[in-house]
Amino acid sequence: MKPAPAPKGATGLDGGAEVPRAIPKHVAIIMDGNGRWAQQRGLPRVAGHKAGAEAVRRAIQSAADHGVEALTLYAFSSENWRRSAEEIADLTGLMRFYLERELATLAKEGVRLKLIGDYSAFGPDLMSRLERAVERTADNRRLTLVIALNYGSRAEIAAAARTLADRAAKGEIDAQAVDEEAIAAELQTHGLPDLDLLIRTSGEVRLSNFLLWQAAYAELLFLDTLWPDFDEQAFASALEHFAARERRFGGRGAAA
């Protein structure tokens, strides 16, 4: 990764006057299409995941370069356990490999790693490597990289409801005080900026149990591009779409 440049596209010409261009603070991506990318080339699925991991590196770099504050990536859903044991091993192996290879770069470039989802399911070795990476990057501020691992949005919301119900049963809080803010504070994304832009690649038009609560006011962008082909230009173009939609609809509150 390169040193921090001024955010790209932070200003633009609009009606002759220099006006700030809307940069999403928080971008999330459902990275889909690795398998089809490999299939189109007559390659094994793992080759698609390897190319997908390279696209992850590019997306992190792009997010940092454009001044995005948080990038959340759906790396492994709770439904992904239905895949073959071989493919799961390939995916976790790739994660371990990239974590080791990229950690120094993430730390150097000011990227803070955060995890959401029940990543303990990946076993003690990967779990402790992930937690070490989180600790090592904890003080970084340029970009928060959130990796969703064994994540499911309904499970996340159910866990928040359980915690609040427990507290109410113990008399620690009043059940009537459970509002949107109280639930949001129990979600694993608490403390991150509101989700502004959610991208899904590969032509599928659904959320697949990803950030259901957080996406309430987000712009949704569904692209035909297969994830391994998602490059710097695709990232910049997604930001252009976001800026154009922001200009058309005005404030996010008004669009609700």
Sign of the C-alpha dihedral, residues 164, 154, 210, 124?
positive
By beta-carbon proximity to ligand FPP, the closer residue of 22 and 228 is 228
Pick the piece of the chain touching ligand FPP (CB under 6 A) from 30-38, 122-130, 176-184, 231-239: 30-38
- Applying CB under 6 A, which of residues 88, 94, 207, 212 lies at the interface with ligand FPP? 94
Written as one letter, the residue type at 103 is L
By beta-carbon proximity to ligand FPP, the closer residue of 70 and 95 is 95
In angstroms, give the least distance from the CB of 86 to ligand FPP.
13
56 binds ligand FPP (CB under 6 A): yes
Q: If you search the block for the tokens 């959610």, which residue do you land on?
A: 198
Pick the piece of the chain touching ligand FPP (CB under 6 A) from 3-11, 64-72, 90-98, 163-171: 90-98
In angstroms, give the least distance from the CB of 141 to ligand FPP.
21
Q: If you search the block for the tokens 């990239």, which residue do you land on?
A: 98
Tell me whether residue 150 is one of the annotated catalytic residues: no
58 binds ligand FPP (CB under 6 A): no
Tell me whether residue 34 is one of the annotated catalytic residues: no
Query: What is the Cα–Cα distance from 239 to 21, expressed in whole angstroms?
Result: 10
Residue 241 contacts by C-beta under 8 Å, 6 or more apart in sequence?
Answer: 219, 221
200 binds ligand FPP (CB under 6 A): no
Sign of the C-alpha dihedral, residues 204, 210, 211, 212?
positive
Residue 153 contacts by C-beta under 8 Å, 6 or more apart in sequence?
Answer: 207, 209, 210, 211, 212, 213
208 binds ligand FPP (CB under 6 A): no
Q: Residues 95-104, buried b or exposed e (16+ Cβ, 10 A)?
A: beebbeebbe
Residues that bind ligand FPP (CB under 6 A): 31-36, 49, 52-53, 56, 75, 80, 94-95, 98, 147, 202
